[in-house]
Copies of this chain bind each other. A is one copy, B any other.
């Protein structure tokens, strides 16, 4: 069933749809009075709703579906800005599907791209739109936030968390295989996790030392070399597997 995010309080039973949602529902999906949809309201809960009129587009809330597809851990990705325009788009789309709570691009020492100040808002708006669409498609309860930081120090300072890890190639090369598993099995539902990824060419050892100095744990993601856009996806799938599938308490 089609799902839409509507930033409205959940105490209203009749809701007039915002323009962009109304356009998609009525013009693209050709919904009619009586059609049913799922809406996520400002409380991040999923409701079944019935279209009452199409012009203006209004819905009536039928019931709370009590569905939660969010990861048990709140994961923020800090990604070294990749070279091409396509890679941030792919990371945002796939990381949203895989459950990320926030995706931050930062200028890493080896980042070749640079987001000029006057272009940042436009670039973020474009990526946020991709995240919002992917959140509807993948039936999330939350739309992840996309953000930008001019450097690693700012990215770290602006994103505190219960646990922080950095995906480090050298860690994998040195045969380290247990750190990620140890972090994930040591976490409890509701805790926050920040994970840092390098751009093409990887993080510099200075950047990794800078992070280790403030308690960020280097983790390997297996023995193969993953591209800058693949590592965050591996990471989120591992978090999902460890916290949603390889557990006894569900």
* Closest beta carbon of chain B to A197's beta carbon, Å: 14
A250 proximal to B (CB < 8 A): yes
- Are A177 and B244 neighbours in the complex by a CB distance under 8 Å? yes
CB closest chain-B residue, reference A241? B238
Task: Please determine whether A223 and B137 come into contact, CB atoms closer than 8 angstroms.
Answer: no
Contacts of A222 in B (CB 8 A): 69, 99, 240-241, 244-245
Chain B residues near A99 (CB-CB < 8 A): 222, 224
Cβ–Cβ contact B224 & A138, under 8 A? yes
On whether the beta carbons of B137 and A225 are closer than 8 Å, the reply is: yes
User: How many angstroms from the CA of A227 to the CA of B94 in the assembled complex?
Assistant: 9
Each complex incorporates copies of this chain amounting to: 2
Range for the number of chain A residues in contact with chain B: 35 or more
Q: Does A98 contact B (CB under 8 A)?
A: yes
Question: What's the least CB distance linking A69 to chain B, in Å?
Answer: 4
9-residue interface stretch from A109-117, A156-164, A186-194, A229-237? A229-237
Residue of B nearest to A3 (CB): B225
Q: How far is the CA of A8 from the CA of B222 in the complex (A)?
A: 28
Residues of B near A240 (CB, < 8 A) are 221-222, 234, 238
A175–chain B nearest beta-carbon distance, Å? 8
At the interface, yes or no: A97 with Cβ under 8 Å from chain B?
Answer: yes
CA distance A202 to B247 in the complex (A): 27
Q: Pick from A177, A221, A227, A245 the residue with the most CB of B within 10 Å.
A: A245
Residues 98-134 of A at the B interface (beta carbon under 8 Å): 98-99
The distance from the CB of A4 to the nearest CB of chain B, in whole angstroms, is: 15
B241 adjacent to A241 (CB under 8 Å): yes
Contact A225 B177 (CB under 8 A): no
| A68 sits at the interface (CB 8 A) | yes
